[in-house]
Every structure is written in structure tokens, then in C-alpha cells.
Amino acid sequence: MTVVQQGKGVAIVKIGTSSVTDHDGRIDDAALEKLGQELSAARNLGWHVVLVLSGAVAAGIPPLGLSERPADVKTLQAVAAVGQPRLFARMAELLAPHGVVAGQVLLDPYDFLHRSQYLHARDTLGRLLELGVLPIVNENDTVADDEIRFGDNDRLAALVAHLVNASVLIILTDTGGLFTADPRIDSEASLIAQVVEVNAALEAVAGGTGTERGSGGMASKLQAAKIATWSGVRAVIAAASTQDVVALALAGKSVGTTVQPRSDRLGARKLWIAFAQRAEGRVVVDAGARTALIERNKSLLPAGIVAVEGEFDIDAAVEVVGPDGQTFAKGLVGMGSSALRATMGLRSSEIDDQPAAAIHRDDLVVLS
């Protein structure tokens, strides 16, 4: 089944916790009502809209009488179980007067990692859009394993954009976009309106986490935009408080920071390897291996490896580092770290009872 493409296409709108709750963590009705009006207007313009709505944990704190955001995973999951239905119910209630029916979709990383679940999630979202429903997506926080989770809804939104073949990802936050420095502490900071490529310099500018009520910050939003652009999706980071921000972003007007899409689109599995799986180690390769991987699309053989860093098992994600110390690729290993150390530098004919490739080219993504 193909996700619907009638009209102007599919738009993913993600809004952060700090933009839908007040400083006490209570749901901000005015913010949600503005969002509902803008999403309805986008649908009236011919867009299919998917909303990724943060705030489940923050919305669950006041009903439970907690004074601050919990730190341990079990309590966070319990609080999310209380907050998630409250947040969804209120958003659905505010969309209803606009004639919009909302549907709740909870996803976890396994829905992207396993092909059958990926297809099922895609078909479900596609059918909801065909039926005229506005899907409201969140991570399944109540059961997500801390060892494998999205970590924030910015990344989830970017992966959903790939899942439904979206045209644009709009990330709404409490700042006006990506600035040359933190505008909260530097009055000379200026907005970066256009980004052609997300590089290390921009990632350094993005800094760390944002508010106490959310799990992300500008760094996670820029990373999400990077994932989206590798999916061929235009990304916009803008202030949720800006009037008609969704319509402006959809129309390509000057609002916030726009990150332009790459011309080539990664497949779902390689996108997951590149951006969603945590690297458990690093393998350092020589210049010849680096050239073979980048220019000739070859698999990484043990002969080209000069060092192995970290302890990991088969199928773990690792970074691939060149002689200059720079990471240029990421992949899933066909051997554990012990086997790699034992075979590195050896030709395939010299290796017994081990896979021919350290990282097969189908499990490798060249990042630069």
C-alpha cells in the first residue's frame, strides 16, 4: 500500500513540550487551540497532516502531584501513561470543531527496525490519511525499552516523515529557529534562515538540551532535520508562537530555519543504521579501505581495519573512522569486537570460520 499523495502531499508537524505546556507542566489550551486552527487550515489547503505531539510526561506530572520531572525510567513511563491520554483527548477535542477527526498512533523503534512492522505502520498511517483522519503520533513511552528508544520526538518525527514519504517536516519549538549562538544569552545571535547541509560546525552551534520540561533541544531538532534531509524531505524549524507558522512553512515562505533536502534519498533500513541506532564502538580503517568504501561502494574487509575500539557483538552499529580520525561511515558489523581484533589486517583467504566482510556494503552508510 502506498501512502496517499493526493493534494499537496503529506506534512509532518512536530511540536515540542515547552510549546504545549506552561511552566508548571499543565496543558496550555491556548497553544493547543492555535495549533488546531493551523493544522485545520493546512488540511483545507490540500495537505495531509500528521502531528507528532510531545508533552505526555509533562502533562502527567500535575495530576500525580509531582513537583518536578522524574529522573528514573519506570516513573517516567508511569507518568507518561497518565499524561498521554489526557494530552491526546484535549487535542482531539480542540480539532473536532474544525471537522477534524484525530486518531492516536503510538510507535516504538521496533516499528522501524523490522521490515514487517515498518510496512504495517506505513499502511496504518496511510489508511488513516485516506480516511481523512489526522494521526497524532507519539513514542510508546509506557513500554519503550530504555536500551532502544527514540529518546525524543524530534527524531521520531523525522523517521515518520520518511515512513509516509512526506514532502515537509515542520518542527515547532519555543525559539525562532537555529541561531549563530544561543539567543537567550547572546544578544548578537542572528537567525540562520537557510541550511544547505548539516555539518559539524552547525551541530556545534546547536548546543545541548533545551527546557527542563522537554527531552530535546536545538541539537535534537537539527539532528531530526538532518535525518529528514537524508530522506529527501525539506525541514523547517520555527517558533510555535509565530502566527500562521504552519501555512508559512508549507508555502516555503521565510520563517525560522529551512534545511534543504538532499537529492538522493536513503532507504528506511540505511536511514535507521545511520541515524537511529546508537554506535557501540568504532573501527579505524586505512586509506585504501576508506577509498573502497566511499568511491567503489565496497564492503569493509578485515584486511583494511587497523584498530577496533569498544566491545560489541555481531550486528552492533559502529562508526567507521579514517586515517585522519574522522568518522565517515556507519554500519552493522558481521563480527563481534573480539573476532574483528583477531582478524584485522588479514586477507579473507587467511581467515577461517568467519564472515568474509567485517561490514557488508548493504549494512554500511557513507556519511561524508
Rounded Cα distance between 194 and 88, Å, is 33
- Assigned CATH for 9-270: 3.40.1160.10
**C-alpha 363: how far from its chain's center?**
20
Using an 8 Å Cβ cutoff, are 217 and 153 in contact? no
Strands 133-139 and 234-239 come out as unpaired
pLDDT of residue 148: 40
pLDDT of residue 213: 44
Domain boundaries in the chain?
A: 9-270, 278-366
pLDDT of residue 328: 93
Using an 8 Å Cβ cutoff, are 294 and 365 in contact? no
Parts of the chain with a pLDDT under 50: 1, 147-148, 209-215
Using an 8 Å Cβ cutoff, are 322 and 291 in contact? no
**Equal CATH topology for 9-270 and 278-366:** no
Rounded Cα distance between 59 and 26, Å, is 6
pLDDT of residue 1: 44
Tell which CATH architecture fits domain 278-366: Roll (2.30)
pLDDT of residue 26: 79
24 by DSSP, 3-state: which?
A: coil
* Terminal alpha carbon distance of the chain: 33
